[in-house]
């Protein structure tokens, strides 16, 4: 087998993986980064999910490099797309004018920007990207990982990577079981965490829904696909808390659980410059077309786009029949196929049965835009993962650390070892244990370094949704800018430890070392404390 030796191995090329690689590379280290799909960027690209961000993202509360990514996306549109004069001059350009985010955009654009951010290091011979590879085995010596074996998705070829530090940036925490790192899945018990929203007993198989998103547009003609093979099954599914069939415009409101009915109006003639994508004021999901729209045709010169492009990541495509963590490979593939079947069923329903405002049924002009998501099958390249295996960490972040109901105006806990900040409501989708949405108002929060440290393993760091959160607090630490912050710090920390001849645990434990590392983070443009903010 081919062997590669490097300073820092980043296993997984999602947002956290890209940020980890950049942090280590800026520190002068050699990096190998792997990715199992054809696109790096994870939830922003291969999973096709527009960025979920807090209301102050244009001013503060994210890292400098994440802001560079956001600026790069907007500049890419200005450089390469035929924007109208008004849209080109819009400083906070929202290409899709979607209500879920101030930066709804096509996934290929953020992919291009991330590839450009990494390109100089590839040219310098300091970064090697291995695609499409996934980890399948590891060599471990006591509390240290010596190597990780990767397998090519298509050919089966194997490569062994050795490094002083390994960063697990996979979507499901894939390194944790193969390295023997202690981890938890699903719901912890209230007895363990003390969380107000936790169940009395732990539920390791009770995990958040996974979704396979897709992009659509609406043009003249009949584009109805063949009836999906499992359509009748999905059409009959009616969860007891849903208020009707799963496939429909009626369902529970994520925050109030009140049964609400959403609308769907393709290509409304709205002015994109008037869209105010601030979730505090308007969740924006009343019309599902504009909710996660990623291309608003009126942002571009007339006639360039035949239609808006809408990203479908709606409640009805949440697959929560069975968990996908720690099942057999056969079951994993079977359950992902079921999730894809659900997405095809929703699309077919939209084309043929969805109620229209004019009293008719179906939108036969809808087209799957697999060209937008980079696939022949029409859906997103990768499943949208909301929950991962999570390390048993030195510090576990619990609900009462940041819940507004608990903390009130005092704000979230200030961690001595903060290495970043984030903000989002605790947003848990329906889960495989039959739970409805769980939505908890949160305060702007910090990311403690102790949550990135496994209790035992010394040279393995998490860089995605696999840090020391609980099932509940993962619901607000799993979003795009927080994952980027976590990954960037993991890369900087591994490089810092190599330079200083120390360990991550020693950095967290010693006040002097911690202060020095936090000073480095400040120089790197990583905010570790929130300014005073109101109205959250």
Query: Using N-to-C axis directions, what is the helix angle for 480-500 and 15-26, rounded to 10°?
Result: 30
The SS3 of residue 431 is strand
Estimate to the nearest angstrom the gap between the alpha carbon of 479 and the chain centroid.
5
Cis upstream peptide for 132 (omega within 30°):
yes
Q: Which tokens sit at 398?
A: 């619990």
307 C-beta neighbours (distance < 10 Å), count:
18
Residue located via tokens 């049924």: 361
Q: What is the DSSP string of 7-73?
A: SEEEE--SHHHHHHHHHHHHTT--EEEE-SSSSSSGGGTTS-PPP---TTTTTSSS-HHHHHHHHHH
Quick one: pLDDT at residue 284? 78
Quick one: pLDDT at residue 280? 81
- Residues 101-157 have pLDDT tens digits of 999 999 999 999 999 999 999 999 999 999 999 999 999 999 999 999 999 999 999
Q: CATH says 2-50+105-187+386-523 is which class?
A: alpha beta
Q: Which tokens sit at 32?
A: 């190998």
Is the pLDDT at 534 greater than 80? The verdict is: no
Quick one: pLDDT at residue 265? 95
pLDDT category of residue 177 using cuts at 50, 70 and 90 = very high
d(CA 203, CA 199): 8
Q: Which of 291, 3, 22, 293 is nearest to 158 (CA)?
A: 3
d(CA 475, CA 42): 17
Q: Is residue 217 within 8 Å of 306, Cβ to Cβ?
A: yes
Buried-exposed string 149-159: b where 16+ CB fall within 10 A, e elsewhere? bbbeeeeeeeb
Quick one: pLDDT at residue 283? 78
Helices (H), 357-410: 370-373, 404-407
| Angle of CA points 28, 30, 35, to nearest 5° | 125
Ranges in the chain annotated CATH 3.50.50.60: 2-50+105-187+386-523
Query: Where are any strands of DSSP class E within 179-288?
Result: 183-184, 210-211, 214-218, 250-252, 259-261
d(CA 315, CA 283): 14
d(CA 175, CA 172): 9
Is the pLDDT at 490 greater than 80? The verdict is: yes
Measured CA distances, 85 to 21, 57, 82, 91 (Å): 37, 25, 9, 12
Measured CA distances, 531 to 56, 446, 447 (Å): 11, 12, 15
Across residues 263-285, what is the average pLDDT? 90
- Residues 203-252 have pLDDT tens digits of 999 999 999 999 999 999 999 999 999 999 999 999 999 999 999 999 99
Q: What is the DSSP string of 120-132?
A: HHHHTT-EEEETT
- Residues 46-96 have pLDDT tens digits of 999 999 999 999 999 999 999 999 999 999 999 999 999 999 999 999 999
Whole-prediction pTM: 0.97
């Amino acid at each position: 087998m081919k062997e590669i030796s490097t300073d820092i191995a980043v296993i997984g090329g999602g947002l956290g993986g890209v940020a980890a690689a950049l942090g280590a590379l800026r520190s002068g280290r050699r990096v190998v980064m792997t990715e199992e799909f054809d696109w790096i960027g994870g939830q922003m690209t291969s999973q096709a999910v527009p960025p979920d961000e807090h209301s102050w993202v244009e001013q503060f509360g994210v890292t400098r490099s994440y802001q560079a990514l956001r600026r790069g996306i907007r500049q890419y549109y200005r450089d390469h797309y035929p924007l109208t004069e008004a849209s080109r001059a819009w400083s906070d350009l929202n290409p899709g004018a979607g209500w879920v985010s101030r930066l709804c955009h096509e996934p290929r654009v953020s992919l291009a920007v991330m590839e450009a951010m990494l390109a100089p290091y590839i040219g310098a011979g300091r970064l090697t990207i291995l695609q499409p590879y996934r980890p399948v085995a590891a060599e471990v010596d006591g509390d240290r990982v010596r190597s990780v074996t990767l397998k090519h998705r298509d050919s089966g070829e194997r490569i062994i990577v050795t490094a002083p530090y390994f960063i697990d940036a996979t979507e499901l925490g894939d390194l944790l079981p193969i390295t023997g790192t202690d981890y938890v899945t699903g719901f912890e018990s209230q007895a363990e965490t003390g969380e107000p929203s936790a169940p009395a007993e732990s539920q390791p198989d009770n995990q958040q829904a996974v979704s396979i998103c897709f992009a659509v547009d609406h043009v003249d003609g009949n584009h109805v696909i063949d009836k999906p093979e499992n359509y009748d099954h999905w059409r009959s599914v009616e969860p007891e808390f849903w208020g009707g069939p799963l496939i429909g415009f009626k369902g529970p409101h994520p925050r109030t659980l009140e049964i609400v009915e959403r609308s769907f109006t393709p290509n409304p003639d709205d002015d994109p410059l008037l869209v105010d994508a601030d979730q505090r004021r308007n969740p924006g999901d009343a019309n599902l077309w504009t909710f996660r729209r990623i291309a608003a045709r009126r942002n571009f010169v007339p006639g360039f786009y035949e239609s808006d492009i809408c990203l479908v990541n709606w409640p009805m495509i949440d697959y929560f029949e069975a968990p996908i963590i720690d099942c057999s490979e056969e079951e994993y593939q079977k359950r992902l196929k079921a999730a894809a079947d659900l997405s095809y069923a929703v699309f077919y329903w939209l084309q043929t049965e969805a109620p229209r405002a004019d009293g008719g049924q179906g939108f036969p002009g809808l087209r799957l835009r697999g060209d937008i998501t980079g696939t022949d099958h029409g859906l997103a390249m990768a499943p949208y993962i909301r929950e991962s295996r999570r390390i048993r960490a030195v510090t576990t972040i619990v609900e009462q650390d940041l819940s507004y109901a608990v903390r009130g105006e005092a704000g979230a806990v200030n961690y001595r070892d903060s290495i970043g900040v984030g903000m989002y409501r605790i947003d848990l989708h329906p889960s495989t244990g039959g739970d409805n949405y769980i939505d908890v108002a949160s305060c702007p929060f910090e990311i403690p370094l102790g949550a990135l440290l496994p209790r035992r393993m010394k040279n393995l760091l998490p860089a995605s949704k696999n840090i020391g959160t609980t099932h509940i607090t993962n619901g607000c630490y799993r979003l795009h800018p927080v994952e980027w912050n976590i990954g960037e710090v993991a890369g900087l920390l591994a490089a810092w430890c190599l330079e200083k001849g120390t360990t991550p645990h020693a950095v967290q434990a010693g006040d002097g070392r911690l202060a020095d590392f936090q000073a480095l983070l400040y120089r790197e443009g990583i905010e570790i404390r929130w300014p005073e903010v109101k109205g959250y």
